[in-house]
Chains A and B, each alone.
Chain A
Amino acid sequence: MDEFQPKIIVFACNWCSYAGADLAGVSRIQYPPTTRVIRVMCSGRVSPLFILEALGAGADGVLVTGCHPGDCHYLSGNEKAVRNVELARSLMALLGIDPGRLRLEWISAAEGARFAQVVTEFTAQIKQAGANPLPLKPGSDKNLPENGWDGLSRPSGQAGEPAPQVFG
């Protein structure tokens, strides 16, 4: 069997971290192909619900990246990101999801090497933690950890329906 390759949803702010990720490419710094980057204008746009949505959909990890404190293009979006990520983390705890699956990192436009390093480390950490048992599928209860996941199940909508409306 192939080695477990995690999938990590990365939210990258347009001004710093997305540019940092590009710089890793321009510098040809190699890192594991585990990331699926979603560009947002600001890390402060990342709603806690996006994070839960990603984990609920089966992402093995979620990495929120933004500008360093004091460098936010929108002045304080990264401070808002701290609050939103904390909120997501407390919701994860409530739902029994390992908070280690969520990470917030500051990566500037000049830190290509750091982007690669963060992804490499986070990938190793997620590999250690194992696959996210979500999304729950019928008959997959054997995947459930002892005391987790109970609260979080896929919305009961049928396949093909539009995404459940979330605010945020």
Chain B
Amino acid sequence: MTNKPNQKLFKASFPASLDHLSQLREFLYAIIKGEGLNFNEEETLQILLAVDEAFTNSVKHGYSGDQTQRIDIQIKITKHNLIITVIDKGKGFTPKKLQKADIVKHVKKLKPGGLGLYLIQNVMDKVEFSINPGKKNAIKMIKKLG
């Protein structure tokens, strides 16, 4: 953990394996509770969900299941925001902004791909992508503090 005035920064690195999803959620949950962030149960679940989905995308698609790789997590708490960034060095992806009508059409056709990204964009207040395949792919997810 490092601190600057009015912000706190936590960092962690996990093997790119779905075995670590539970550990990742516990790490995040401990920070949310430990720092006394004012999120209700539903908001907390949605934050865990967004990070879980981003991590899962990195494992499955970014690294195609290569468990020797790692995924970095940065959590920044500022005066007004909780900012979580999930970073990998995998093959990256093209971010799309889907609308609800698109996703319903998608689900009706029983195509599960892309649902995670849609969830992330709908449960967080702001999402930013920085994609540099093989170097640094970062998905920054922001939730306003209550």
Partners in one complex: no
Seen from chain B, the residues whose Cβ lies within 8 Å of a Cβ on chain A are none
Seen from chain A, the residues whose Cβ lies within 8 Å of a Cβ on chain B are none
